[in-house]
């Protein structure tokens, strides 16, 4: 294998996308001495506010892409809905991780499920839907199911639970009859995710799987257990995530979300070709965070250690917290949160709080499960998570 060209501190790294994930990337890149250029069309983007240069333009703007590639030695993407073709164009002039070809597979749920299956990792029973006729001919075993738009879905958007073919046909029409996946609902025992970093030399660093709780399709709480207590199914998930990254010829940070069924069966749900919300615990809980790994891969540096220092729980902070029960504006009680030892507040610098919008996250650390649970209940009460388990 040829020697990897190392991008030295002081040089420029590029990011396509300017949201909170890009903002946290900027912090780590700056800590390691790099300059960062962000391409994002939003003049008030969270990452644009902290980057060394904000190129405010469309992701498909030819002049903007040329400027970014001319400035940066290596470029990455913040989220999977960046046009894959833009990443392919950038790769003609500089290093791009992950590749546009890899991102293109993950952008389409139909291609993604086909790929995961070919990689030897099981998924829930499903069928591809391109027409109403596909739904009418679908296997009855797929009902009740969930209909998912093949592209541009996230945080539960572009999804509908369907009990019958008729409901599926109606949901398909509401989606505008775009390509979809119909997936059979499963008897879920747990939902977990695994973040893995894969370097340019093929080395990998795997993080402790996180247990995830969702509300209204959005990740609400994520808990990373003590790695010494990993179950065989957790280890199976870690191995599957690495297998997917290797099969995808993927370089960078990748998250794979999994379902664990009542009988212990592990199924892959979806791939995120980037750092992930469920991996935010790594910022405080691990020797090297998922964002530091992203910088290291881009720069051609050795991966950092994914060793976990303490157990952790992460709460997403949504814009709902800025409104009381009468929908009047209020300010969350940051002082109460910060009075608890081992609690870390991350706010993303977004100008407007809206319900369902990710405004920040809170991570808490503890040396053992009992203390973690007690501290998590304190945080949940302050944040108003009355349903927290």
Q: Is the pLDDT of residue 2 over 60?
A: no
* pLDDT grade for 48, boundaries at 50, 70 and 90: very high
- Averaged pLDDT for residues 172-199: 96
At 226 the pLDDT is 65
Query: 153 and 48 in one domain?
Result: no
At 1 the pLDDT is 42
163 belongs to a structural domain: yes
- Averaged pLDDT for residues 342-360: 95
Query: 199 and 148 in one domain?
Result: no
Query: 348 and 334 in one domain?
Result: yes
252 belongs to a structural domain: yes
Q: What is the pTM of this model?
A: 0.95
Dihedral through CA 232, CA 211, CA 229, CA 290, nearest 10? 100
At 155 the pLDDT is 55
65 belongs to a structural domain: yes
H-helix or E-strand containing 29? helix 20-31
Q: Is the pLDDT of residue 229 over 90?
A: no
Query: 228 and 308 in one domain?
Result: yes
Q: Which tops the pLDDT comparison, 268 or 156? A: 268
* pLDDT grade for 153, boundaries at 50, 70 and 90: low
CATH code at position 176: 3.30.1490.20
- Averaged pLDDT for residues 348-358: 94
Q: Is the pLDDT of residue 228 over 60?
A: no
Query: 334 and 194 in one domain?
Result: yes
At 389 the pLDDT is 59
Query: 366 and 252 in one domain?
Result: yes
Domain containing 316 equals: 188-383
Dihedral through CA 78, CA 82, CA 84, CA 88, nearest 10? -60
Query: 296 and 284 in one domain?
Result: yes
Query: 136 and 233 in one domain?
Result: no
Query: 209 and 251 in one domain?
Result: yes
Q: Tokens standing for 216?
A: 């209204």
Query: 305 and 264 in one domain?
Result: yes
- Averaged pLDDT for residues 155-175: 90
315 belongs to a structural domain: yes
* pLDDT grade for 135, boundaries at 50, 70 and 90: very high
Percentage of residues of the chain with pLDDT beyond 90: 90
Sheet holding 95-96, edge to edge: 53-55, 35-39, 12-16, 74-77, 95-96
Q: Is the pLDDT of residue 104 over 70?
A: yes
Q: What is the pLDDT of residues 67-81, one digit of tens each?
A: 999 999 999 999 888
Average pLDDT for the chain = 94
Percentage of residues of the chain with pLDDT beyond 70: 96
Question: Residue 191 phi/psi, 5° resolution?
Answer: -125, 125
Query: 362 and 262 in one domain?
Result: yes
* pLDDT grade for 57, boundaries at 50, 70 and 90: very high
Burial of 342 (C-beta count, 10 Å sphere; 0-12/13-18/19+): middle
CA distance 114 to 122: 10
At 230 the pLDDT is 83
At 249 the pLDDT is 97
Q: Tokens standing for 256?
A: 């794979």
CATH code at position 364: 3.30.470.20
Number of structural domains found in the chain: 3
Q: What is the pLDDT of residues 293-336, one digit of tens each?
A: 999 999 999 999 999 999 999 999 999 999 998 999 999 999 99
Query: 279 and 201 in one domain?
Result: yes
6 belongs to a structural domain: no
- Averaged pLDDT for residues 246-257: 98
At 64 the pLDDT is 98
Contacting residues for 313 by C-beta, under 8 A, at least 6 apart: 221, 222, 223, 224, 281, 363, 364, 372, 375, 376, 379
SS3 35: strand
Q: Confirm if 252 and 97 have CB atoms less than 8 A apart.
A: yes
- Averaged pLDDT for residues 249-275: 97
CA distance 363 to 125: 35
């Amino acid at each position: 294998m040829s020697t990897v060209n190392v991008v030295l501190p002081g040089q420029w790294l590029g990011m396509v996308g300017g949201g909170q994930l890009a903002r946290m990337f900027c912090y780590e890149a700056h800590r390691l001495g790099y300059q960062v250029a962000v391409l994002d069309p939003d003049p008030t983007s969270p990452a644009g506010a902290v980057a060394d240069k904000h190129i405010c333009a469309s992701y498909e703007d030819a002049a903007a892409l040329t400027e970014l590639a001319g400035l940066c030695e290596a470029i990455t993407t913040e989220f999977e809905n960046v046009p894959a073709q833009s990443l392919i164009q950038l790769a003609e002039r500089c290093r791009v991780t992950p590749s546009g070809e890899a991102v293109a597979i993950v952008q389409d749920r139909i291609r993604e499920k086909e790929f995961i299956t070919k990689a030897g990792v099981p998924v829930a029973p499903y069928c591809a839907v391109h027409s109403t006729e596909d739904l009418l001919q679908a296997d009855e075993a797929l009902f009740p199911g969930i209909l998912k738009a093949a592209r541009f879905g996230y945080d539960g958007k572009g999804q509908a639970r369907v009990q019958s073919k008729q409901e599926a046909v109606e949901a398909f029409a509401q989606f505008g009859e775009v390509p979809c996946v119909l997936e059979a609902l499963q008897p879920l025992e747990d939902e977990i995710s695994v973040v893995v970093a894969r370097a340019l030399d093929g080395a990998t660093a795997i993080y402790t799987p996180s247990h995830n709780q969702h509300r209204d399709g959005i990740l609400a709480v994520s808990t990373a257990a003590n790695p010494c207590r990993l179950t065989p199914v957790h280890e199976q998930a870690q191995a599957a995530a690495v297998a997917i990254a290797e099969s995808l010829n993927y370089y960078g940070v990748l998250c794979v979300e999994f379902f664990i069924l009542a009988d212990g069966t592990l199924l892959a749900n979806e791939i995120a070709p980037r750092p992930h919300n469920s991996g935010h615990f790594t910022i405080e809980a691990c020797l090297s965070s998922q964002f530091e790994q992203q910088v290291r891969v881009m720069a051609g540096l050795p991966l950092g250690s994914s060793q976990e220092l303490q157990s952790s729980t992460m709460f997403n902070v949504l814009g709902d917290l800025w409104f009381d029960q009468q929908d009047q504006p209020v300010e969350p009680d940051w002082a109460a949160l910060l009075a608890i030892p081992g609690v870390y507040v991350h706010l993303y610098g977004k100008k407007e709080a809206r319900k369902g919008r990710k405004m920040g996250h809170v991570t808490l650390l503890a040396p053992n499960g009992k203390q973690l649970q007690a501290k998590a209940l304190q945080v949940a009460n302050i944040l108003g998570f009355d349903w927290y388990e």
